[in-house]
Structure 1
Amino acid sequence: MGSVFNEIYAYRELYKNMVKRDLRTRYKASFLGFMWTFINPLLQLVVYSVMFSTIMRMNIDKYPMFLFVVLLPWLFFANTTQEATNLIISNSNIVKKVYFPREILPLASATAGLVNLGLSYIIALAALLLFRIPLRPSLISLPLVMGLEFIFTLGVSFIVSAVNVYFRDTEHIWGILLMAWFYLTPIVYSVNIIPAHYLKYIFFNPLVTLTEAYRDILYYGVFPYFPGLLMFALLSLFVLVFGYLVFKRLAKGFAEQI
C-alpha cells in the first residue's frame, strides 16, 4: 500500500482541487449556497426534536443536544457513503480520458465531508453552550473520534463506489441499508432503553461505539470508552484496507464499464 501514498502525494494538487470543487459545488445552484452546511443539520434537528420530544415523548434532559451531537457524525457517514456510490460514474469523463490515482475520488469526497463535519461542530459547540451544557476537557478527544470515523467512512466509500460501477443497483440498495442502519443505531434514542437480552448484540453494530463516543465527549462531558474505541480503530483499519483492495482490483475495468 506504500505506493498508493506516494502516488496520491504526487497528485496532491489534484486532490486539493477536488476537495475544493466538492465543497464549492455541493450547494452551487442554491440561493443559500454553503450555508446549507449548517442549515441542513439544524432543520433535521428541529424535525427529530419535535417528533421525539413532544409526539413520541423521549424523556431525556436537553434532548435536542442529546440528538444533535450524534446526528452530525451520522449525516457525515450516510451522506458521504451515499454520494460515493455514484462517484466513478459521475466522473466518467475524466476517468476515461485522464490518468490519475482513482482512489483520489473517494478520498477527496470523504475529506470534503469531514470538513463539513468540522464546520457543523462549530454550530454544535455554540448550541451546547446555549443549552447550558459545559464544554469539558473530554473535548480534546473529539478529533481522535472524528479521525477514526473518517477512516471507517473512507473504507466503506471505496467499496460502494467500486461495486456500483459493475452493479448499478448498489446505489439504491445502499440507501435502504442506511435507513435501516440509522434506526439500529442509538441516535434518536438512548442505548439504555434497549432490552437487556438485545444489549449484548447491539455493539456488533460498529456505529454504536462511535455514537456513544461522540455523546460521551459532547453531551455527558466525559472521555469515551477507550477500549471500545481501540476495537473500532482496528475494525476501521481493516475496512479501509479491505475497501482499498476491492477498489484497486475493480478499478482496472472502470473505463470499460462506464
Structure 2
Amino acid sequence: METIPLFLSLTRREIIGRYRGSVLGIFWSLLNPLFMLAVYTFVFGTVMKSRWTVPGQQEAQHSTGEFAVILFCGLIVFQFFAEVVSSAPGLIVANANYVKKIVFPIHILPMVSAGAALFHAAVGLVVLLGFALGVFGHIPLTVILAPVVFAPFIVLVAGIAWILASAGVYFRDMSQIVVPLVTATLFLSPVFFQRTSLPGWLQPWLSLNPLAIPVESFRNVVIFGVQPDWGSFGYYWVAAIAIAFVGYQFFQKTRRGFADVL
C-alpha cells in the first residue's frame, strides 16, 4: 500500500518538473497537441480532403472543423502511447540512482511515466469535449464510457513499457529503434483513416496495431455516441492483461542485473 502514495508523489513531481522554469508552464501540455492538430488538419483535412463516414450516414459529409475534432480524438490516444513508449527505453538509465536503493520499487517507474501521460490525455480530453460541443453542438452520453475503453489500453502500454525499460538498460540503441516504430504505428493506425477505407482482406489485420481498437472505441464513445464493439474490446482486454503480465515478469527477471550494467 505504501507504493501508491509513492507513485502519486512521483507522478506529480514528473508532471510539475517537466514544465518547471518555462514561461507557459503546464499550458504546454495543451499547446503542443493543438499545434500538431493544426498541422495534421491542414495536411489531411484541407490539402488531402480526408473525411470520415459518421455512423448513421451514407457519405462522408462534414466540415474541416468536424474533421479536426475527429482527428484530435485519435491523437489523444496516440500521444498517450507515444509519450510512455518513447521514454521507456531510457527510463531506468535516467534514474540509475534508484536502482542501487534496495527498498525502492523501481518497477513503478514506467507506471509513473504512464500516470503523467494519462494526465496529459485527460487535459486533451477536456479540450476535445469543448471543441466537440462547439462544432457538433452536443456531447454524447456515451462519453462516460471513455475511461472504460481507455483502461485496457493503459494496461497494455504498461506491459510494453516494462519490456522496453528493461531492454533499454542492456541495449542502449533501443531508444533509436523505438522512435521510428512509434511514428510508423501512428500512420498505420486509424488515426488519419477509417478501417473501412482499407481493402476488405486487410481490415482484420489492422487490429494487430495496438492503437487500432483504442482509437476506434475512444472515437465512437466520445464523438459519435456509439458503443464500442464489445467483442473486440473483450479480446483486447485479454491481450492487454497477457502483455502486461509478460512485461512485468520480464522486468522482474532482468532487473537483477541492472546494478551491474549501470
Do both share a fold (TM > 0.5)? yes
- In structure 2, what is the equivalent of residue 6 of structure 1? none
Q: Which residue of the partner structure matches residue 185 of structure 2?
A: 181
Who is 2:123 aligned against? 119
Aligned mate of 1:34, from 8, 12, 26:
26
Tell me if structure 2 keeps the 8 A contact 1:76–1:113: yes
Q: Deviations over 1:120-148 (max 9, x none)?
A: 21111001001125211211211111212
Matched, 1:13 2:5: yes
Counterparts of 1:113-192 in structure 2 under 5 Å?
Answer: 113-192=117-196
Match of 1:74 among 58, 74, 78: 78
Amino acid at match of 1:168: R
Q: Calculate percent identity across the aligned residue pairs.
A: 29
Moved over 4 A (4+): none
Deviation at 1:98, TM superposition (A): 5.3
User: TM-score, length-normalised on structure 1?
Assistant: 0.92
1:85 is matched with which residue: 67, 89, 98?
89
How far, CA to CA, are the matches of 1:79 and 1:171 in structure 2? 13
- Is contact 1:95-1:255 (8 Å) kept? yes
Instruction: Indicate conservation of the 8 Å contact 1:134/1:221, yes or no.
Output: no
Root-mean-square deviation over aligned CA pairs: 1.4
Secondary structure of 2:136's aligned partner: coil
- 5+ residue gaps, structure 2: 53-61
1:110-167 Cα distance to aligned partner (Å, 9 max, x none): 1121122112211110010011252112112111112121111111110100100000
Structure 1's unaligned 5+ residue stretches are 1-8
Residues 133 and 219 in structure 1, CA contact (< 8 A), matched pair in contact too: no
Kept in 1, the 8 Å contact 2:140–2:224? The answer is no
Report the count of equivalent residues.
250
Q: Does residue 233 of structure 1 match 2:225?
A: no
Q: SS where residue 85 of structure 1 aligns?
A: helix
Counterpart CA distance in 1 for 2:107 and 2:137 is 40
